[in-house]
Chains A and B, each alone.
Chain A
């Protein structure tokens, strides 16, 4: 199998088939990228298109300094940031969000999405790029323009926070059970009365 970078260089020399191959490789991952970061499915679709078009348009100037996917996701990150700014300016766009109504949402799925949403932006971005886009620390550093050490420490903190968010501590669960099984004082009083 040809490497992404080889395909990109072949495309620069005029092989449209090479770009088709790249497209087929990345359309699902890229759509997933936007789908996990935006609540609006239609916008995720449109931004996937825009991202590929941007790669098409910038292909001439592309240089194999970083991996192709770093380049692709860096563009995707820029588009996402612009989308966030846009949706803050025009709040009505958030009303057609379908986050909760996602058709294939399972309960576990929902828990994960809530936990990820609870992270702050810089920690969330690092962990998403690692876990779902599968980028290396180096690639994340280039895409986000942050030092390698920062990638590592943020990633660790993000994962530890997720652990807390996803798996409530056993003692806490135990305490919740106790509270639930103990009748409220008022009810207790009522019970004692004949």
Chain B
């Protein structure tokens, strides 16, 4: 390598790659690189650096930026007048004020929407319809109550209302679909695309066994044989009177009956129950709503592509898209969960060794007391578990209610306070 006689500087190779050379010089450099191994390796190095650098990606700009710029532009008058009048501190204060007002209203509206959504999703279609009607008054009152002059706000209120109108339309169509099912089992509507009913099967079984270790070994073999698995398993050997095992088994639905009969062979069955939930309607409902949401997302994306160029419009559409996306993801997860529940039956299995007399205690009274303590302890654990399950399942609903009732309650409280104040003044 001889730098001094090399007619192309390495920097020129770089400038060529960056498209910074005149056309005539560029073709000379290109020809040189093709013939010179040294320059070709510089080219390769530069390519490698650039392609490594672009791995540093950052997230998109948050929507809040658009909001405040929009606010500045919405000021009456031209950009120049805006520029002349505004001072930085004032802008900040104004933005904070607008933002907080905004957050408050939007928060209120979204709580109402979320509430309606939660009820709608969590209940069966017919029950949710009733709930929907009960809340429709409240819901429509909430977002449209403050008829502000703020155009941005009204655009979003409109967006929310449109979304709700969509939901209402959907629930109506579902009502129509559900009605013939009740009236005439034959059904006049065209057959649903899902073949046969979708049943989520469940079973529970309590087994009394002689030794836990042996039973557990056979259980594992049994699971392997039926292509099943334990989604959770707790082994309790803390008290020496009786060891026990609690497990939730996930069994391919087709194998449920065979699995249950094999389980019975492991010991003495003390209790057993089976259940099934027809989730066909839920499935159809979810699939329909998912389809609808995907279509509206497509439509919104279309609108965004042919945007008019007004920030507030783009903003409203973007907000709606992200909302719709969230709903789609939620519904997809629910649908997947539903499919899993149908294809896999779940068995709640409890296996316990027969209560054994503690060593050295021959009295039957002592044995019975001991057993009573053991079972009492177990009952206590069960009730605690039941309480935890109850709180987990109803907690979010309670929170939502608390959130929804907080604002009206506070408003009433304040009003009472302000009414009382003048009275007490007059009295004094």
Which A residues are within 8 Å of any B CB, using their own CB?
11-12, 14, 16-21, 23-24, 27-28, 30-32, 35-36, 45, 48-49, 52-53, 56-60, 103-104, 106, 108-109, 111-113, 116, 127, 130-132, 136-137, 152-153, 155-156, 159-160, 162-163, 166-167
Secondary structure class of chain A's binding surface, majority of residues: helix
Using known A-B contacts A49-B68, A159-B46, determine if residue A57 contacts B86 with beta carbons closer than 8 Å: yes
Tell me the minimal C-beta distance from A92 to chain B in angstroms: 20
Q: In the complex the two chains form, is B65's CB within 8 Å of A137's CB?
A: no
Q: What residues on A are CB-neighbors of B372 within 8 Å?
A: none
Interface size class on chain B is 35 or more
Identify A104's interface contact among B18, B53, B59, B82, CB under 8 A.
B59
Kindly specify which of B7-15, B161-169, B390-398 makes contact with the partner chain: B7-15
* In contact, A137 and B15 (Cβ under 8 angstroms): yes
Choose from A31, A52, A132 the contact partner of B69 (Cβ within 8 Å).
Answer: A52
A131 touches B18 (CB 8 A): no
A159 in contact with B79 given A17-B309, A116-B56 (CB within 8 Å): no
- Residues of chain A within 8 A (CB-CB) of B66 are 23, 27
B: residues with CB less than 8 A from A are 10-11, 14-15, 18, 20, 45-46, 48-50, 52-62, 64-66, 68-69, 72-73, 78-80, 82-83, 86, 91, 307-311, 314
Q: How far is it, in angstroms, between the C-alpha of A153 and the C-alpha of B9 when the chains are bound?
A: 11
Query: Smallest Cβ distance from A60 to chain B, in angstroms?
Result: 4
Report chain A residues within 8 Å CB of B52: 108, 111-112, 162, 166-167
Chain A neighbourhood of B69, CB < 8 A: 23, 49, 52-53, 56
The 7 A-B residue pairs with the shortest CB-CB distance, nearest first, are: A31-B61, A57-B83, A60-B80, A35-B58, A112-B56, A27-B61, A17-B309
User: What are the residues of chain A within 8 A of B80 when measuring CB–CB?
Assistant: 59-60
Residues from chain A with Cβ under 8 Å of B49 in the complex: 159, 162-163, 166
Residues of chain B lying within 8 A (CB to CB) of residue A57: 79, 82-83, 86
Q: When chains A and B are docked, how far (Å) is the Cα of A20 from the Cα of B54? A: 28
- Structural contact, B83 and A60, CB atoms closer than 8 A: yes
Q: How far is the CA of A11 from the CA of B309 in the complex (A)?
A: 13
**Which residues of chain B have C-beta atoms less than 8 A from A18's C-beta?**
309
CA distance A19 to B80 in the complex (A): 13
Min C-beta distance of B398 to chain A, whole Å: 31
A131 to B51, CA, bound (A): 10
Chain B residues closer than 8 Å to A106, beta-carbon distance: 55
